[in-house]
């Protein structure tokens, strides 16, 4: 997996990347009560606001980590946003995207670098 400074994780799987938020981010948010997901087929640019998470503490945006196309979203989050707190790096993935340039993923942190970032 790769990690962004915005506390997103990226799991490459073939030509698709699954995106979610880290356990650290889920802890900081507190109890998640609502998740707004993008539509499949949407083209995004790196840094675009793609999804919104609302918790009892705050609302946060999920940003597109790279340029590409959203190919799938996780319908389970609409029915059960608390999955983000229960299984942030597993069942609570937000979307899958096909990067315009798969090599762009090389710029992100590995697990050791991310752990150093969050202390």
Q: Is the pLDDT of residue 82 over 90?
A: yes
Q: What is the mean pLDDT of residues 30-35?
A: 95
Q: What is the mean pLDDT of residues 15-21?
A: 96
Q: What is the mean pLDDT of residues 55-78?
A: 94
Q: Is the pLDDT of residue 70 over 90?
A: yes
pTM value is 0.94
Hunting for tokens 């998740």 — which residue is that? 35
- DSSP for 68-113? EEEEEE-THHHH-TTHHHH-TTTTT--EEEEES-GGGGGGSB-HHH
Q: What is the mean pLDDT of residues 7-34?
A: 95
Domains detected in the chain: 2-118 (2.40.50.100)
pLDDT for 119: 86
Question: CA 93 from chain center: how many Å?
Answer: 6
Q: Starting from the edge strand earliest in sequence, which strands make up the sheet with 49-55, in order? A: 32-36, 49-55, 59-63
Averaged pLDDT of the chain: 95
């Amino acid at each position: 997996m790769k990690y962004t400074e915005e506390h997103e994780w990226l799991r490459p799987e073939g030509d698709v990347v699954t995106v979610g938020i880290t356990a650290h981010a889920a802890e900081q948010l507190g109890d998640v009560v609502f998740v707004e997901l993008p539509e499949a087929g949407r083209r995004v640019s790196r840094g675009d606001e793609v999804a919104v998470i609302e918790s009892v503490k705050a609302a946060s945006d999920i940003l597109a980590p790279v340029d590409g196309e959203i190919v799938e979203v996780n319908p389970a989050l609409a029915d059960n946003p608390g999955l983000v707190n229960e299984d942030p790096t597993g069942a609570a993935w937000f979307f899958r995207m096909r990067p315009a340039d798969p090599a762009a993923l090389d710029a992100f942190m590995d697990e050791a670098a991310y752990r150093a970032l969050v202390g």
